[in-house]
Amino acid sequence: MAGTKSPDGHTRRRSRAGERTPARGTAKKVHEVARRLPVREGEDRWTPEELEEVRAGLEQEMVELRDEIARAENELADRMRSASDGAGDDQADTGAKTFEREHEMALAHNARDLLAQNERAVHRIDAGTYGVCEICGNPIGKARLQAFPRATLCVTCKQREERR
């Protein structure tokens, strides 16, 4: 079995069938963390497989977001270079270029924000605090985290926050 480095720096092994498996130390850690994570009343406890699936999804999205950020930054650099080539442009051309540049900046900013949220979620998984509401300390809910793995607030606290 060959080992590869994942985006989080953990060594992953490939089984004979080619699927990725956690490194030996990581599997035990995931099992311990999954056992300790809080769940809401009536929910089943996290299984190591479920937690690893959430983590893998976050890590895959982090790779995609890093690529998206790099693309947006390259586009922005190209637009900045071409902005100086716009001598003689009319107001509409200048406005369109400004709009495109601001659009690329907004995309890069949003991607950076999502990347930070994903990194924070992975850190919370590693720290064993994943699934704990940052405001009230109650469980966020396994189903909510499976649907939105970056959630840091339970539904009640999120609703309160949105009303403000």
pLDDT tens profile 38-58: 889 999 999 999 999 999 999
The Cα–Cα gap between 73 and 79 comes to 10
Asked whether residue 109 falls in the same domain as residue 157, the answer is: no
Task: Answer whether residue 120 is part of any domain.
Answer: yes
Asked whether residue 74 falls in the same domain as residue 61, the answer is: yes
Task: Answer whether residue 76 is part of any domain.
Answer: yes
Asked whether residue 93 falls in the same domain as residue 57, the answer is: yes
Task: Answer whether residue 27 is part of any domain.
Answer: no
The Cα–Cα gap between 107 and 120 comes to 20
| Residues contacting residue 120 through CB under 8 Å, at least 6 positions apart | 150, 152
Range of the domain at 162: 131-164
Asked whether residue 92 falls in the same domain as residue 114, the answer is: yes
Average pLDDT, the chain: 81
Asked whether residue 107 falls in the same domain as residue 90, the answer is: yes
Task: Answer whether residue 4 is part of any domain.
Answer: no
SS (H, E, C) 11-70: EEEECCCCCEECCHHHHHHHHHHHHHCCCCCCCCCCCHHHHHHHHHHHHHHHHHHHHHHH
For residues 60-66, average pLDDT: 97
Percentage, residues of the chain above pLDDT 70: 78
pLDDT digits (tens, 9 = 90+) for 112-131: 999 999 999 999 999 999 99
| Residues contacting residue 31 through CB under 8 Å, at least 6 positions apart | 48
Asked whether residue 94 falls in the same domain as residue 153, the answer is: no
Asked whether residue 110 falls in the same domain as residue 142, the answer is: no
